[in-house]
Each structure stands twice: as structure tokens, then as C-alpha cells.
Structure 1
């Protein structure tokens, strides 16, 4: 079974409300094909601190982040955390639906986590640096506009409601 090491205290993780929704949906949809990783992703989302997309610190790994990390074998890697359809190991794009992808999501620079690979071996990684994609401000602006629109619209506010009987 693929899992983060339960005997070691897990570090605090932060996930945006947007990533939380997409990752929770992804985990639920992946249970048939990848039950172990899907369960671990769901577990990580369950313990994450969920914040507004604009409130996620810049040094926290989110979807689309470019992450430099060091493994327990002293190997240093630089990867982009992506959704499964965008994954391409030859271009250093790692799916969040892999054991290492699940381990990275929500970590901040300087944090470490112990995780178990598909082969059952435990590994430890430490995040060194995190870079956000260039389109992050545009995505956050869209999320802010969407959230503002949702707050403004309440049932009965539009002209499409049928007239009410007096």
C-alpha cells in the first residue's frame, strides 16, 4: 500500500480552496484505478488547512508549482506538480496522482515528509524551493471574481424567479 509514514508526525500542509476541490474530486474518481494513491490523496486533503487561493503563501507547493527538493539519497530534483493528463516524466512534470506527488502537495520550502513508494520502500524528501507558475496572478484574479459573484448572487436576487403569491 502506498502511504505516507504514519509513525512520523506529518508536517502541516496548506491547500487552496480551488486545489482542494479539484484534488478531492480527482481522488474520488481514481479509487477504481489507483486505490492506494487515491486513498492517500484523500487523506492528505482531509488533514490540509484549506485557505482562499489568494492566501496560499508563495513558498507552498500547489498545483502547477515548480518544486526543487532533495531526497534521502541526496539526489536533488526540480519538477512541476501537475494533474495526471499533463504528466510527462521526460519533461519533469510529475502527477499529483503518484506517491511523490501526494507527498509534495501543500508542503512549504524547508519542510520534510516521509512517504512510501509503490515498491514499499520508505523515502524522505525535503522541499528546497517553490516557484509559482507565471499565470498564478491571473488564476487568482479569476477566483476572486468568481467568489465575489457567488457572494452577490443569492436565491431570489434575479428577475427569473416566478412572482410570489401575496
Structure 2
């Protein structure tokens, strides 16, 4: 982490019902994708766990459609956060076991997070909209 407050990890929320399944998924993926597994476990560990019924509508969870922008002027993208078996990048369905998928989990509209891309570059992601299932 840097001293830049925009680059610090913001507080996140995860549905308690999803946390156990996501932890098991991350542990199972640890041998074939250790970096993303570690990132996802760290995010789950630092999250506030809330009941699904109490989850605010603007928080990214599994099955959410989320519009986010990347700091370097890239156009905003809208994706749906899914489990690996449902992932299809051409259809905009991003796996939770990708760097961006793990990074989006639990964020709220307006929050930003510095997160690594697949090639290890740090990018600042900003959540612009969330539609929960």
C-alpha cells in the first residue's frame, strides 16, 4: 500500500451466506491460481459479513451487474460477477477467480480500489453502478 488514501483498500461488505462458499472456492483454486486465491481470501477476511437481506443494493455481490471505470481513461465497463463455471468474458460474465472479479467483490458505488491486473499492473477501479440480482 502507498500513503495515497485513494490507493488504500476501502471497507467492503460480503453476504455471510456467500463468504463460506467463496472461501472454499479460493482454497480449492490455490494450487492452480495462488495469487488470485490469496487476494480473494484476503478480501473475504477483511470484509464485514452481513446477512443477504441486510445487504445494501449498491454493494457488489455474486451475480451483481457492476459498472466500473479504470483510472487510465479506459471506458467504463459493465460486467456480471459470477462463479467460475458461469464465466464468459464475451457475455460480460467475469469470474470471481480473476483479479478484477476478486477486486470488485464487496465494493459500493463511489468506492475506488487499487487492484492488480492479470499482468501485475496496479489500476485504480471506481464503482459507478451496481444492480443486484
TM-score w.r.t. the length of structure 1 is: 0.75
Structure 1 segments unaligned to the other structure (5+ residues): 1-5, 134-166
Larger fraction in strand: 2
Q: Which residue of 1 aligns with 2:63?
A: 64
After TM superposition, list the pairs within 5 Å mapping 1:7-156 onto structure 2: 7=2, 8-74=7-73, 75-133=75-133
Q: Distance in 1 between matches of 2:132 and 2:118?
A: 28
Q: How many residues align?
A: 128
Alignment root-mean-square deviation, CA: 0.8
In structure 2, runs of 5+ residues without a counterpart are: none
Moved over 4 A (4+): none
SS at match of 2:8: coil
Q: TM-score, normalised by structure 2?
A: 0.93
Secondary structure at the aligned position of 2:68 is classed as strand
* Structure 2 CA distance for aligned equivalents of residues 72 and 57 of structure 1: 25
Rg (Cα) greater in structure: 1
